[in-house]
Amino acid sequence: MIDHYLNKKQMNFGINTFLFTSPFTNDSISLFPKFKKWGFDSVEIALEDVSHIDPSFIKKALDQNGLNCNSICAAMGPGRDLRGTNEEQNIAIEYIKSVLNIMPELGCPILIGPLYSTVGRAEPVEKEQYKIQWNTVVEHLKMLSEYAEKSGLKLAIEPLNRYETDFINTCEQGLKMINDVASDALMLHLDTYHMNIEEKDQSKAILNAGIKLGHFHACGSDRGTPGGDQINWKNIRAALKKVNYSGSVVIESFTTDVKVIAKAASIWRDFEPSQEDIAIKGLEFLKSFFKN
């Protein structure tokens, strides 16, 4: 089942559940009929804790609605940090392992996001201390990649903008981490919102990622609807085609409706009419644009 999703040759379109709810629980399957009606292929479950769901129950609901869970978005909140205190490192490792453990039952092939550190940890770090943190994360990701590989799963690390992390901001830094870990199970996850802030040229970042690009988030430059913004989508489309990317393209936008996520992502105003508007119009744009 998982190999089937990993080897799909046709680009598919997904929606991250953080747009509508936090935390994701068994009750959140009420969203699935809407997602299917709107035309999504897959659901990216933002999973804050594995205790919040029954994987077999969620999988049954996905199947009933003709949807896949092509990715799980890691929730690297406070206390989960592969470069933090020993306790924070252990908590992060156990959390990531716990998610990997349930992914086969969900038919989910890849765990994505800023797996390396707590989101929001952004502070000046001396070069020597940064190097120590880097080496610590490398060792942890080596172990976690090996753990994932045993079940035929993948991890994909996401560079975040400078306001959300001081650790990995660019594609180049992400690729260096992947090279240092040296595991086929570790991939790169790029996001147009973060790239819009940190990359000189988003299309070049995609080309540099090449075959290591394992996941892709499509968001507006203001974290809103993809397509109605200043991002050069034509260049992004050309770059994705050039690297033969055929995985998921997922909308990960936020509104003020989900308060905990709005605060974490600094969403202070309504820059789109509604959550539904982002999902429906965003998907319409992505399908018409990327399938041409």
Rounded distance, CA 99 to CA 51, Å? 10
CA atoms within 13 A on the CB side of 72: 33
56 is written with which tokens? 């077999």
Structure-token pair, residue 180? 């240092």
Cα 219 from Cα 254, distance rounded (Å): 9
Is 252 catalytic? The answer is yes
> Which of helix, strand or coil describes residue 200?
coil
Q: How far apart are CA 134 and CA 168, in angstroms?
A: 10
Distance, CA of 18 to CA of 291 (rounded, Å): 25
Sign of CA dihedral 195, 199, 201, 207: negative
From the candidates 44, 48, 252, 272, which is the catalytic residue?
Answer: 252
Neighbours of 131 (CB within 10 A): 11
Catalytic residue among 158, 164, 198, 272: 158
Q: Looking up tokens 């999902």, which residue turns up? A: 279
Two structure tokens written together for 192: 């147009």
Alpha helices per DSSP H over 153-292: 171-181, 192-198, 202-209, 233-242, 259-264, 275-290
105 is catalytic: no
What is the rounded distance in angstroms from the CA atom of residue 290 to the CA atom of residue 276? Answer: 21
Q: Are 236 and 204 a contacting pair, CB within 8 Å?
A: no
Active-site residues: which are they?
158, 252
